[in-house]
Amino acid sequence: MSIAALTGDDRLVAAHDAAVHAALSHLEQHAIVTRQRGAEGEYLWRQGDGMTAAVFRHTTSRNADPQLHSHCVIANVTRDPETGAWRSLDSRELYAAQAEANAIYMNTLAHGAREAGYTVDWAINDKGHPSFELREVPESLREAWSSRKAEIDAALEARGLSRATASADEKQVATLATRAPKTVEDRAALAADWRITAREHGFEPEQRPQGRVLEAAA
């Protein structure tokens, strides 16, 4: 999805933003909980009144491959709807809701891609989560821009492991061990290079499928 979005189809960037918004809205409605002591010392849980979050959209992996993603930072504060006081969150609720939020993000994003005219092929990724690819993007191009995956796979293989056999902790170690420092890229030049590479693999960014125009969530 990142390839089609970042080589020129802004409709998919809008679909990504809308999917992030949908996931955060779900968390705000169902996972923003505050915990406090009652009159007799017992714990009381209340749904918080509102959530404060900052969203930072990024467009590259650390290896400068196209990778559309957003980092969402949720402030550890919400308003108590009964007293009006500001209180910290019970983060366990947010942690427990991660899988739900991810599923909402993926389904909303897939819907946006289909609305834009793409064909969505679902699969289970190496983390055991539902994911999808766009059929219109050649497999050779996806492999060419999966350098981080190749680095992590090589690090696991050096230890006699694979994504199928490694534990979550072992995958995390391989990820951190191969992580390059962040660099500042010339975005315009990078986008131009991406379009050239896409054409070399038979993907024409300008020949996007026809669908309705998508607008980013407010």
For the chain, give every domain's residue range. Answer: 2-137+182-200
Cα 127 from chain centroid (whole Å): 13
pLDDT tens string, the chain, 218 residues long: the values are 999 999 999 999 999 999 999 999 999 999 999 988 777 777 888 899 999 999 999 999 888 889 999 999 999 999 998 889 999 999 999 999 999 999 999 999 999 999 999 999 998 877 778 899 999 999 999 988 876 666 677 777 787 877 667 777 776 666 666 666 666 578 889 999 999 999 999 999 888 888 755 554 44
Q: Token digits for 53? A: 């979050």
Q: Token digits for 190? A: 């990078």
Q: How far apart are CA 89 and CA 80, in angstroms?
A: 10
User: Angle at the Cα of 143 (from 156 to 106), degrees rounded to 5?
Assistant: 90
Nearest of 140, 126, 115, 135 to residue 213 by alpha carbon = 115
Beta pairing partners, 79: 49, 86
